[in-house]
Chain A
């Protein structure tokens, strides 16, 4: 029995589940003074809408970096600016400078959750839908694949705890789709955008850049060296141009601005080798050998990179 519209039904069902997660509280709800990631995102909207661009990453009287300072790359800042502008139109109190700190309200929660849903549908759900449709596998189980990929971890973090991982993950997925379609330039743009949204995408960067660049430059098979070089140059140029466009405002204003932004992005190096309860090697090792106490942060950082 061939059932039509299976993928569409599953896509809609995952949205229902995401809406279900939306009615629950977010991280830091009713927990002054610091609240949680939800407040961080709201605060970034407040900062980007009210302050000039050179102050976004800088510690000023209006922007206290210790209270949820921006520590994601500029594309997140631009997205916060866009969302913040919409928020301002709906209700000024959501993003009033200083006054709106810790603003909590049912309508505001609705607005924030919807912003995640909209971003999710535009970037992640669409990417997943097109990717699975293009797969050369039996139609019978595509919907299972879709359901598994819209996994609960992502839903919990984005719709519950509150973040916008769907944007960077979605852009990465689009990059993969473009690679599979041979559209290398678009893929380079998409992944650069993903990386500039959340530096966590560096985890995927090594494979994508190294593998992709090397492989892509060898496509199509048996092509001559000049055309391979042309390929590589195109991809490289696309990447550089994307970075340039996104970082443009931070490149020109002051010399120290670029350095400041980079320091904010890699602030985890100051925080230590691991944070809280991450389920990785260093955290587990720390139970037996107290690494955090033995070494100071910067030497650990250089150690882990090597």
Chain B
């Protein structure tokens, strides 16, 4: 069933090959060119194009392997000087590379499906063949995830491939293959360092559940296991960074460009800092209007500012990277708590990943809105097994996917994004309702709380405002960042609400279990 769904979705993806591509397309073409045409020691130094290599070396190797395929399609794309080169064959090659690497995603889903679909091992295979079993619904929710579709196959990135490796790692944990999990996660970290967001979870879990062992109420520390983990991590990092040991500082400065990036991206990710920014703007605006602030002072409240990378707050204290780190660490604590108190339970591990990804998304420095996908994916795994998590998943996926709307702004994609998000949300709602709430016998569908329903109605309006209404009401574009700001702030409210509910839910179950003990 999984592969049938995958095949269908793949055909669908092929249809969108000619659609809009963002600058990320040129970014990856440039990386194909650099890795193919330049020697190793120039990869992290070359800056012919403004889109310099800023992913870890293993991804650079990945692009290098791809570049040999590129030769068959159009060798011209591999010339470093061919900036913005986009022939038909280039587009075809790059799009197909994303579509094909999604096979890794399917393999990751398969690994997770094995443990999540059904707890009775033998029944899994049979169940997976049925049309509407929990494993096929999980397969559908993951493989057809509309956020991945919009970001990978239209905007252009390789998140499907990366999420696949994440799922291989998570799936290994689910099957208690801890060493494999560590291996896959190290690979993942060496492909895209954004996954540092959830590294603490791995560290705590593997130390607590794998290295420490509780048998007959005696805790033993397995030093050997720690060594094994260490070897895996060190070897992977060694192979990846080894060839670049002489330029390590240059590589790291490319990976972590703190000097050039501000608190928020040009489009504020819908996180805590977006709310912080808007409160700051409102206070400054009120301050000027009500005369609290001396008009001659340097305090400004530009309501149209959206391109500013460096952020100096007007009234509230300015936030630096260290502050965000402190907030993030505080927010990660619930994850650490549940991991320490309930060791060796894969489902708790997944909860911890969600909590940790949430924390990094909400309080991190210069977060991209695409990072919401790192929260949504593990939450999908929980959605098929728990009614409470299912409701939170629906809220988060709808809000998160709508928050990605500003990425696709061209005419066709404007219509497309509404239709695909609507379809995916309705389909998820349908399938999850059928799974958890038997419509026939109990006559109920998945129900949202009344304030949640109002939030969703409002979200619909915000989505329409961003895609069509704003351009009709303000054709001259006097306030170009208004819809983005509204979108960002509104979605931030929803996402923080889901996070809060999820934290409380996680700590409650933890309390329940510890009470039972």
Question: Shortest Cβ distance from B120 into chain A, in angstroms?
Answer: 18
Select from chain B the residue with minimum beta-carbon distance to A6.
B430
A19 B416 Cβ-Cβ under 8 A: yes
Q: Which of A10-18, A171-179, A287-295 contacts B (4 or more CB under 8 A)?
A: A10-18
Partner of A19, one of B419, B431, B440: B419
Taking CB atoms and an 8 Å cut-off, the chain B residues in 468-501 that contact chain A are none
Which residues of chain A are near B435, meaning CB under 8 Å? 1
User: How far in angstroms is the closest Cβ of chain B from A120?
Assistant: 13
A2 located at the interface, meaning its Cβ lies under 8 Å from any Cβ of chain B in the complex: yes
Chain A: interface residue total (CB-CB under 8 A): 25
Q: How far is the CA of A94 from the CA of B416 in the complex (A)?
A: 23
Contact, CB under 8 Å: A2 / B440: yes
**In the complex, chain A residues whose CB is within 8 Å of the CB of B439:** 2, 4
Which residue of A4, A110, A114, A117 is within 8 Å of B430 (Cβ)? A4
Given contacts A9-B427, A12-B426, A117-B415, 13 further A-B contacts (CB under 8 A): A1-B435, A3-B132, A4-B430, A4-B439, A9-B430, A16-B12, A16-B416, A16-B419, A19-B416, A19-B419, A24-B18, A110-B411, A110-B412
> Which of B382-416 touch A at CB < 8 Å?
411-412, 415-416
Chain A interfacial positions (CB closer than 8 Å to B): 1-6, 8-9, 12-13, 15-17, 19-24, 106-107, 110, 113-114, 117
Separation of A114 and B414 alpha carbons in the complex (Å)? 12
What is the interface size of chain B, counting residues whose CB is below 8 A from a CB of the partner? 27
Show 10 A/B contacts (Cβ-Cβ < 8 Å), sorted by A. Answer: A3-B430, A3-B433, A4-B434, A4-B439, A15-B423, A16-B420, A19-B415, A20-B12, A20-B16, A113-B412
Going nearest first, the 5 A-B pairs with the smallest beta carbon separation are: A20-B15, A12-B423, A110-B411, A3-B434, A1-B132
State in angstroms the CA–CA spacing of A276 and B412 once bound together.
33
Residue with the highest number of chain A CB atoms closer than 10 Å, among B15, B132, B430, B438: B15
User: B16 contacts A23, CB within 8 Å?
Assistant: yes
Write out the residue numbers on chain A whose beta carbons fall within 8 Å of the beta carbon of B426: 5, 8-9, 12
How far, in Å, is A13 (CB) from chain B's closest CB?
A: 6
Report B-chain residues with C-beta under 8 Å of the C-beta of A5: 426, 429-430
Cα distance A257–B420 when bound, in Å? Answer: 48
A3 surroundings in chain B (CB, below 8 A): 132, 430-431, 433-434
Q: Which of B419, B433, B440 is close to A12, meaning CB atoms less than 8 Å apart?
A: B419
B residues adjacent to A (C-beta < 8 A): 12, 15-16, 18-19, 132-133, 411-412, 415-416, 419-420, 422-423, 426-427, 429-431, 433-435, 438-440, 445
Q: How far apart sit A191 and B132, CA to CA, in the bound complex (Å)?
A: 40
Give the shortest distance, in Å, between B154 (CB) and chain A (any CB). Answer: 10
CA distance A22 to B419 in the complex (A): 14
Q: Tell me the complex Cα distance, A153–B116, Å.
A: 39
Q: Are A21 and B15 within 8 A (Cβ)?
A: yes
Q: Once the chains bind, are A16 and B423 in contact (CB under 8 Å)? A: yes
Measured in the bound complex, the distance between the Cα atoms of B420 and A21 in whole Å is 14
Q: How far is the CA of A1 from the CA of B442 in the complex (A)?
A: 12
Q: Which residue of B lies closest to A140 (CB)?
A: B131
Q: Are A107 and B411 in contact (CB under 8 A)?
A: yes
Other-chain contact of B415, A1, A8, A114 (Cβ < 8 Å): A114
With both beta carbons as reference points, the residue of chain A lying nearest to B446 in the complex is identified as A4
The CA of A16 and the CA of B19, in the complex, are separated in Å by 13
Q: Name the CB-closest residue of B to A107.
A: B411
Provide the bound-state CA to CA distance between A3 and B132, in Å.
8
A74 to chain B, nearest CB (A): 30
B15: chain A residues within 8 A (beta carbon): 17, 20-21, 23-24
A6 to B427, CA, bound (A): 8
**Chain B residue with the shortest CB-CB distance to A113:** B412
Q: Are A23 and B132 in touch, CB under 8 angstroms?
A: no
Give the distance to chain A from B170, nearest Cβ to Cβ, in Å: 26
- Complex Cα–Cα for A24 and B17 (A): 9
A13 and B415 in contact, given A3-B434, A5-B429, A24-B18 (Cβ under 8 angstroms): no
Task: List chain B residues, Cβ under 8 A from A1.
Answer: 132-133, 434-435, 438
Shortest A114–chain B CB gap in Å is 7
CA distance A113 to B18 in the complex (A): 15
